[in-house]
Amino acid sequence: MPHRRVIITTVLTTVIGSAIAITINLATDWKTNLWAWLGVVGLTALLAVVLLVAASPPSSGTRNPGRRRSQMLIALGAVALLAGIVIVYAVNRTDSEPTSIVARPTTLDTVQADYSVREGTIELDLTALPAVGTMDTTVRVGRGDVRVAVGPGADVEAFCAAGSVNCLGRTESEASVIDDGGDGPGGLKIHLNARSDEGTVEVLRIR
């Protein structure tokens, strides 16, 4: 029974710790970072080991087993803390490196629902898409620039937000635009949300 209680306690505590880490990842930009998810797996395994070692009964020949167990728990806890610091540092360093995305989809099913980077530039060229159909996408940059090109006959409904904006001629810091092009309604329908927290957003119609 004691062994069973150790296993149950270890499993429950590990699940709770993993759930907290997963919640943090999903609530932040880390949800798209592979290293953050590998960190969850590694810390979960390390937490399970720490709990099992700390809860395991000492051998019969061990002098002062309580002190020995405390020392082992402190050592393993220090290792877990160090591993967490290293992982967080690696994730933050990876996320802080500027990233560039250049995309020119040619079919509607290859248009991603979301293009985003924390720092860098995104260039999205929508001029090679079919002349009919509907697409919806969001382009987001934390720090950097967004440039989107649309075709001459596309029906565009766009919302742009940044420190500097040129959204099909609108230059307000937050601009909503409905522009059916020179040929009027009837072309490819583009629903676009383009944002940069610190940078510029340009949505241009290529004639």
Total tally of structural domains belonging to the chain: 2
Question: pLDDT tens-digit profile of 63-92?
Answer: 555 555 555 555 555 556 555 555 555 555
Q: Which of 63-67, 112-116, 123-127, 194-198 has the least mean pLDDT?
A: 63-67
Q: How far is CA 182 from CA 18, 165, 167, in A?
A: 54, 22, 16
55 and 119 share one domain: no
74 and 8 share one domain: yes
11 and 74 share one domain: yes
Parent domain of 131: 99-205
62 and 83 share one domain: yes
Residue 99 has a pLDDT of: 86
**Model confidence pTM above 0.85:** no
pLDDT beyond 50 at 157:
yes
**Mean pLDDT of all residues belonging to the chain:** 78
